[in-house]
Structure 1
Amino acid sequence: MAKSSADDAELRRACAAAVAASGARGEEVTFSIRVAKGRGIFEKLGRLAKPRVLALTVKQSSRGEANKAFLRVLKYSSGAVLEPAKLYKLKHLTKVEVISNDPSGCTFVLENTVMLDNQVSTQDGQETSVVTQTERKVTVTVENDLVSQAKEEEEDMEALLDTYVMGIGEADAFSERLKQELVALEAANVYQLLESEPLIEEVLQGLDAASATVDDMDEWLRIFNLKLRHMREDIASIESRNNGLEMQSVNNKGLMEELDKLLERLRIPQEFAASLTGGSFEESRMLKNVEACEWLTGAIRSLEVPNLDPCYVNMRAVREKKAELEKLKLTFVRRASEFLRNYFSSLVDFMISDKTYFSQAREFANELRASTKAPKNPAVWLEGSSGSGPNGSNADTSTVSDAYSKMLTIFIPLLVDESSFFAHFMCFEVPALVPAGAPNVNKSKSGEDDADDDLGILDPDGDDKPDNTSAELGTLNEALQELLDGIQEDFYAVVDWAYKIDPLRCISMHGITERYLSGQKADAAGFVRKLLHDLESRISAQFSRFIDEACHQIERNERNVRQTGILAYIPRFAVLASRMEQYIQGQSRDLIDKAYTKLVSTMFATLEKIAQSDPKTADIVLIENYAAFQNSLYDLANVVPTLAKFYHQASESYELACTRHISSLIYLQFERMFQFNRKVEELTYTIAAEEVG
């Protein structure tokens, strides 16, 4: 039913706002009308549903295309505001006309073309239908705001109207006839229900029986469910107890294994207990005693926290066994201390009673004192005093080197044997040392001293296995240091005495010590190796002291009164270098080369300073001394690389001095000619050429 006129401006504005809110752009509302949907085809006006608004919009095309028309269905929201519900596209719309003779006042016609006649009928009631007829008799039904084709329904309606020979305008008669048909159908339906009552009774009985059976089955299922629940609980309880028993069995097995291991640690072998408590210390029994001590040490360590689980430490059996092992240790230590005390007492008594034990060394010491005597005045090698050579340079001091070599030959093997005996006696796990006189596999083929044989390592198995006893070696060397500390002072005294006799003998002593160090391979004799290193350092320090004194002697020439000719230290250095080369004896040249470098550098620096004291004779002094240096060291420079380097340096300095001296002589002889030439050149710049003459 229409609620307002078709040209209601307020309704049109509301429709335009709703269309714009929906997102449509450029659409203009040309027609809007309120309608109401009914619940049937021919319902009464008193049974209206929610109102709707039909709005016809046109969209203008900006690209020259045909305008588009849309039929929009709008509904009221909860706030009485229109909002879009459905959209229908209409093509070729030519006419919109409201039928004036319709009693409801809600029927209108949409005409598109001459060939197409659209009729939209809106009836008051629950349903709203729009019927469109074409030449092909195509019917379009709009119901609940949806448009769909319903050709079959139109045909059924026409067949129904043909049956009663009625037209569309005879609506009251058609409604009355439909009511009669409805009453007849209801009566037939009641009669049919009465006839089917016995069947319904049978069906109800069957349903009752089925319900009873279902109830019985439900009861049985509840019973079975209860029994199954109890069975599941029993099974879970059995599984839990079974898992507990399995875990207990595994734990018991592990506990038995741990107890067996602990009992194995706590067991004391009978033979070891007998050796520790009452065994003898004879040579034949020493190996068993050592094995028993090693086992006792390992057993005590195995019962300490790092090697034993802390949970076992406070067990009574472990505490008792540890106390028993401590008692065994104290017993063996007391017996061993008493044996060592008696053994060393007898050994010392024997050595004191044997007066000829060190007769060879004593005789050699007396002979050495008689044949050598330290000079009252130290030798002066490079000082510019009168005399052609150093003091005492002609004396034979070879006995000094022989004494030092013999001292090492005698005492180094003794110290090595002492270290080996101490390591063996104290049961250190270190390689055995080669005894005196045994062949040394590490000895080189260059003819080294045979004394090196006493310093090698003897591999008893011959398989050259790597030594992994660094901790044992460290402890052994510390013990040897404490045992033999103080004996090195006697060696130092010999080195100092040899330096006073002849400082150049430090070179040969350094070579002897170096050979002993190169042959020293025994890690067990760490004290001996350290002693040799200390001797080498002391010899190097004494020789460096001699070189420093020689440098001071050279520098004292600078402070003397004017000196001419060849300086005294130039030829004396050649004699000193010859003596030093005699004492090298195939050793490394590092010590000698450093001495050469320091001495020659000091000599050249002092020579330059002396020459600069008198500029008139400076070049002559340099020429004479550099020439003397080259003449005196020509032979040595051919065999000694370090001296060859300084020889070439002196040659270059000699050439420079000659060049300067010749230039000065030329300038002195032709000085007036040079002055005349210079004045002529000046006149060529100051006087024009045409003025000359």
Structure 2
Amino acid sequence: MDLQEQRQQIIASVFSRRNDEGYVSHLKIWEDAGADGGGRKPRFILLSQSSTGTGYMHKSKRNTNGTFSVGKTWRVAELRGLQVTNSFNITLSRTYRWDTESGDEQAQFLQALSRPGPVANSVSRDSQQSRDFRQVPDYPAKSRNASPAPSARSARSRPPPTRTETAQPQENGVPHRRDQNVRISYFDPSNQASLDRLLTNNTDSRIDIDGEEESARATLTNVEEMIEGYEWASDDVIGRKSTRGAIDLIEARLLDELTALEKAVSDDILFIQSQNRGLQVQTQNQRALLGEIQNLLRTVHVDQDALITLTQGSLEKTQSIQQLEEAAAELYKALQAGRDTDMAATMERLQEYRTHNSQFCKRMFDFLSIMFTAQAYFSSMSELHQTQITSLLAAYLDLVKTDEEDQDSGFGGGTAPGSKGGAGMRRAGTLIRSPLDGRGNRDKDKTVSGDQRASEVFDRVLDQIQTSIYREGEFIIDFLQINDAGLTFADYMGLDNYFRRQATRSAGLSQTTMKLIRGAMDLIFGFLPAEIKVWLDNAIEKDKLEVIGMLGTVERAIENAEQRNSPFFLNLLDKQHTRLKAMFDRYIAEQLKVIEQTKLTSKKRRGVAHFIKYFPSYVIRVENQLAGAEGREVRSLVDAAYEKIVKGMFEALRQMAKLEGEGEDKGQLNYHVILLENMYYFLSEMSKMEMGSTNVFCQSAQVIFDENLSAYIRIVFRRPFAKLTDFFDAVERLGPDSTNLSSTSTYNKSALRKVLKEYNAKDVRKNIEGLYKRVEKHFADSADGNDAVFNHVWQACEDELLSLTDKIIRLISQYYGDSGVALEFSKSDIESAFKKTRSGS
């Protein structure tokens, strides 16, 4: 946008609302928005003149819609100075520095600004010209003789000008500014002469008052120019319209200036006083810092004799060891005091002390290495523990009883017993022979069997072993001073609290220390994992089911090891726990395989399967090993194993039942009979235990039993009551449409009489007797000799026949009520017949 368009928009936006002001000129500037303002921002300076001749300057910004809005306004009479460089400074109530885009526009604006002069002064334009309020020359305009600084504080940083610089005219057209920090008046002969002349003339009689008034105003103008160069100058008093005399005006002006000077001097005095207080605080801080540095240097100091003692003192004699401890304490204090400082004054000295510390530590390490090698603590303790623990394991293995029942039975029933040749204790390659091995050749081939479960014996074994492991671990921890007491060298030497705190900060279990502890425990008990593994294999070989109890024992020991914070023992137990879980999984897989083989090889197709009989006793043996195991992993492992075994048994039963029977009806009957016998036995035995983990299996067995019982009764009822059941089943199906019954010869009243005639009371008793013999053949003659399932099935048959009778009576009454036909037997006849069969009469 060109200058003319900007001018039109400014007039339309701003001066159309200001009727008493007229546009003179404008200039686009850039001003610094400060650190938080986002950089430089564009603004427009508008110059205007009112109808009374008063000049104004407005700072404006351009809005997004192209209009201009005024933000700040100054009177031109407030103009104190101009300084023109690439940007220009303008001094009003304070100094502003503005950048412009065009030098020509800047020059035009400044010419327009400097032409009008302050209209508020009572001096005419002619007198203003006589005062040489001159126009801007061709070179950049400079400020007046002395333009005020933006603030007193910023002006203090500038060097004061000489008197020559202030009073003499500028040479070679180069503008020079008088330092605004000069606070004392300087003697100007011309101004002083004018002032004296004014004072003298006013004391004479008032002759030619009009001529003198013009001269007085010129003199006042010179005084104004003389005074206004000071930054403490007050407002324009002489320029105000007043009827007072020239002397009164000068006196008022001088009093105002002196008051401003006094205020400025007071501010400077306060500033100097605050600076003085700051210097005093700084001096005190420097003295305190110097004292601290000297104290630190005294602290970070080790006597030369102490360093010699650390280097040459004996490590064996008691008196020399005490001297070494004192010397080490001095070195320790120096290193701890300089731990958190990076001062150059102490770095060189601390580096020297660190060297002495490393040398002393190496000396101690070499000495202790020789001493420990000579004493061979770890080797001796390892051999001692190995001898004792090996003997302990051998003795405890003899206490484990062998489960002959498990070898001869199990889920497979007729499985071959396991080998007993490996029941004796197998050694894991130990170095020292156990004293228990000297029993002689008479016990060489004898299998020793105790009277305690393997899991109970293993619990006692771990209790004995963990005591030795914990004691050795505690000894090593105390030896290395890494126990819970947190005893440091500073505590041992009784140093000040400062050094104790510093030592505590640096104390702790590093990775190197933990590795050292694990290495020491491996040296002492390195033989133990192999010995435990062999003992577990031998104990489980005596009773494989005891692997469950051993899992529970290991899990309890793991919890104890975690509480005692014994990483070595915890690692040993974790490995054995993993092995035992794998052995348990293999054991369950073997049992499932045995059950699978049973359904293929068993020749017994009647009665209760062996694995169904064995399962309750198996559960009891397992649960006896899980006392207090709730919430542990072994509990979930056993529950999952129960589910796998029960699922495998039920599936094997179904497969066995399908293989039985030649004809269709006979095959179905035998299928239901096998499932009924096995499910009834399973329910009767498992319900006695009242265990939450097996309740779900009882529910599944009950569903299977009920389904097969209903199917069995339907099949056995077909022979004696087939016509009766078929007829009334069809009547019930066709009953809603009564026309079907009357129109069909098969289900009309005549057909009903014919069917009912075949089932009188005598025939029903005869049919019940035949049914009894058939059911008795299926259940009562089983090899197991258990009549409970037969009695349950026979009672279900009675209930089913009574229910059928009620159904027939209801259908006859509903669909054949007007036929006069009724059953020739009653429910009492049925109950009497069933009772007779039970009594055997």
Relative to the length of structure 1, the TM-score reads 0.51
Q: Quote how far apart the aligned CAs of 1:535 are.
A: 3.1
**Alpha-carbon spacing, 1:396–1:367, altered in 2? closer, same or farther (3 Å):** closer
For 1:489, the equivalent position in structure 2 comes to: 530
Work out the CA distance in 2 between the residues paired with 1:518 and 1:287. 44
Alignment partner of 1:472 is 2:515:
no
Contact 1:473 1:524 survives alignment (8 Å): no
Q: Do the aligned residues in 1 keep the contact of 2:396 with 2:461 (CA within 8 Å)?
A: no
SS of alignment partner, residue 625 of structure 2: helix
**Which of 320, 333, 354 matches 1:325?**
354
Matches within 5 A, 1:56-67: none
- Alpha-carbon offset, residue 503 of structure 1: 1.7
Q: 2:484 pairs with 430, 442, 454, which one?
A: 430
**Could you say which residue in structure 1 is the equivalent of 2:589?**
548
Q: Is the 8 A contact 1:379 1:391 kept in 2?
A: no
Q: Distance in 2 between matches of 1:468 and 1:600?
A: 60
What code does the residue aligned with 2:614 have? R
- The structure 2 residue matched to 1:656, chosen from 700, 707, 713, is 707
Unaligned runs of 5+ in 1: 1-197, 433-466
Deviations 1:94-134 (A, max 9, x none): xxxxxxxxxxxxxxxxxxxxxxxxxxxxxxxxxxxxxxxxx
- Correspondence 1:252 to 2:286: yes
Percent identical: 19
Q: Does 1:343 align with 2:380?
A: no
What's 2:542 paired with?
A: 501
CA 284–347 in structure 1, closer or farther in 2 if over 3 Å, else same = farther
Aligned to 2:619: 577
1:143-292 matches, within 5 Å, as 201=207, 203=209, 245-246=279-280, 249=283, 252-253=286-287, 255-256=289-290, 259-260=293-294, 262-263=296-297, 266-268=300-302, 277=311, 278=313, 280=315
CA distance in 2, matches of 1:625, 1:281: 83
SS at match of 2:544: coil
Give the Cα–Cα distance (whole angstroms) in 2 for the partners of residues 667 and 349 of structure 1: 86
Aligned to 1:416: 470
Partner secondary structure for residue 330 of structure 1 = helix
Pairing partner for 2:642 from 584, 592, 596:
596
> How big is the shift at 1:289?
8.1
Q: Are residues 579 and 564 of structure 1, via their aligned partners in 2, closer, same or farther at CA, if it must alter by over 3 Å?
A: same
Q: CA-to-partner distance for each residue in 1:418-469, whole Å, 9 max, x for gaps?
A: 221222222225359xxxxxxxxxxxxxxxxxxxxxxxxxxxxxxxxxx999
Aligned match for 1:641, one of 684, 692, 713: 692
The correspondence of residues 618-633 of structure 1 with structure 2, limited to 5 A, is 618-633=671-686
Deviations 1:604-657 (A, max 9, x none): 23223333444422111101111222344454x23x322344234323322222
Report if aligned partners of 1:555, 1:602 keep a CA contact under 8 Å in 2.
Answer: yes
Q: Does 1:510 align with 2:544?
A: no
What SS class does the counterpart of residue 566 from structure 2 fall into? helix
For residue 649 of structure 2, give the secondary structure of its aligned residue in structure 1.
helix
Q: Which amino acid aligns with 1:480?
A: I
Question: Matches of residues 93-112 of structure 1 in structure 2 within 5 Å?
Answer: none
Structure 1 residues 477-486 or 540-549, which shifts more?
Answer: 477-486
Distance 1:665 1:271, change over 3 A: farther
Aligned equivalents of 1:504, 1:332: Cα separation in 2 = 56
Query: Contact 1:627–1:654 at 8 Å: present in 2 too?
Result: yes
| Superposed displacement of residue 338, structure 1 | 1.2
Counterparts of 2:655 and 2:617, CA distance in 1: 24
CA contact (8 A) 2:400 2:450 kept: no
Task: Tell me the distance in 1 between the aligned counterparts of 2:206 and 2:399.
Answer: 155
In structure 2, relative to structure 1, the CA distance for the partners of 1:665 and 1:248 (3 Å cut) is same
Cα distance in structure 1, aligned partners of 2:647 and 2:322: 65
Equivalent position amino acid for 1:424 in 2? D
How much does 1:578 deviate? Answer: 2.9
Among 445, 452, 456, the alignment partner of 1:398 is 452
> Which residue identity does 1:267 align to in structure 2?
H
List gaps (5 residues or longer) in structure 2. 1-203, 231-253, 424-447, 487-503, 661-666, 751-841
- 1:318 deviation in Å? 0.8
User: Any idea what SS the aligned residue of 1:584 has?
Assistant: coil
Distance 1:611 1:270, change over 3 A: farther
Displacement of 1:675? 5.7
Q: How many Å separate the matches in 2 of 1:336 and 1:326?
A: 15
Distance 1:558 1:477, change over 3 A: farther
Distance 1:272 1:220, change over 3 A: same
3-state DSSP of counterpart to 2:693: helix
Equivalent position of 2:124 in the other structure: none
Does the CA contact (< 8 Å) of 2:335 and 2:350 recur in 1? no
| More displaced 10-residue stretch of structure 1: 372-381 or 500-509 | 372-381
Alignment: residue pair count:
454
Q: Which amino acid aligns with 2:286?
A: N
In 1, the alpha carbon distance for the partners of 2:687 and 2:469 equals: 46
Question: Counterparts of 1:513 and 1:537 in 2: how far apart (Å)?
Answer: 10
Structure 2 CA distance for partners of 1:399 and 1:653, relative to 1, 3 Å: closer
Per the alignment, do residues 293 and 686 of structure 1 end up closer, same or farther by CA in structure 2, a change over 3 Å counting? farther
CA distance in 2, matches of 1:659, 1:390: 44
Deviation at 1:564, TM superposition (A): 0.6
2:680–2:705 contact (8 Å) kept in structure 1: yes
State the alpha-carbon separation in 2 of the partners of residues 264 and 199 from structure 1: 88
Corresponding residue number in structure 1 for 2:656:
610
Aligned positions of 1:16-165 closer than 5 A: none
What SS is found at the alignment partner of 1:472? Answer: coil
User: Structure 1 residues 249, 583: closer, same or farther in 2, change over 3 A?
Assistant: same
Whole-angstrom CA distance in 1 between matches of 2:708 and 2:305: 92
CA displacement at 1:687 relative to structure 2: 8.6
How far 1:560 moved relative to its partner?
Answer: 3.3
Higher mean alpha-carbon deviation, 381-390 vs 539-548, is at 381-390
Change (3 A) 1:216 1:322: same
Inter-CA distance 668–582: structure 2 relative to 1 (3 Å threshold): same
Structure 1 window deviating more from structure 2 (678-687 vs 583-592): it is 678-687
Aligned-pair distance for 1:473? Answer: 7.8
- Aligned equivalents of 1:409 and 1:288: distance in 2? 45
Match of 1:166? none
Kindly state the Cα deviation for residue 342 of structure 1 after the two structures are TM-superposed.
Answer: 0.8
Equivalent-residue separation in structure 2 for 1:468 and 1:535 (angstroms): 39
Aligned with 1:430: secondary structure? coil
Determine helix, strand or coil for the equivalent of 1:201. Answer: coil
**Distance across 1 between alignment mates of 2:728 and 2:210:** 160
Quote the RMSD (CA, aligned, Å).
5.7
Q: Distance in 2 between matches of 1:689 and 1:653?
A: 40
Matched with 1:558 is: 599
For residues 539 and 674 of structure 1, the distance between their equivalents in structure 2, rounded to whole angstroms, comes to 60
